Amino acid sequence: MPLDPQLAPLLALIENGTPMHALSPAEARASFRTLTVDLRPPGTLAEVASIEDVEVAGAKGPLAARVFRPHAEGPLPTVVLLHGGGFVIGDLDTHAGMARAIAAGADAVVVSVDYRLGPEARFPAAAHDAIAAVRDVQGRLEEFGGNDVLAVAGDSAGGNLSAVAAQNVPGLAAQLLIYPATDVAGEFASREENATGYFLDMPTMAWFIGNYADESADLLDPLLSPLRGELAGQPPAIVVTAEFDPLRDEGIAYADALEAAGVEVQHHTYPGLIHGFFDMGPWSQACQAAVDDTVARFKPLLHR
* For the chain, counts of helices (H) and of strands (E): 9, 8
CA 102 – CA 299 distance, rounded (Å)? 9
Which among 114, 183, 275, 279 is annotated as catalytic? 275
Q: Which is the catalytic residue, given 156, 190, 225, 284?
A: 156
Q: Is 171 exposed, middle or buried (0-12, 13-18, 19+ CB in 10 A)?
A: exposed
Q: Looking at 129, 183, 221, 245, which residue is catalytic?
A: 245
Active site residue 245: yes
Which amino acid, one-letter code, is at 137? Answer: V
Q: At what angle do helices 285-302 and 96-106 cross, to 10 degrees?
A: 50
Q: How many Å apart are CA 211 and CA 87, to the nearest integer?
A: 8
User: Is residue 114 flagged as an active site residue?
Assistant: no
> What ranges make up the beta strands (E) of the chain?
50-57, 62-69, 76-82, 109-113, 146-155, 174-178, 237-244, 265-274
What is the rounded CA–CA span in Å between residue 215 and residue 155? 25
* φ, ψ (nearest 5 deg) of residue 82: -115, 115
Cα(128)–Cα(116) distance, rounded to whole angstroms? Answer: 9
Nearest to 183 by CA among 147, 133, 126, 224: 224
Nearest CA-CA partner of 81 in 158, 146, 145: 158
Please write down the HEC assignment for all residues of 86-116: CCCCCCCCCCHHHHHHHHHHHCCEEEEECCC
Run of H or E including 125: helix 125-138
Active-site positions read 156, 245, 275
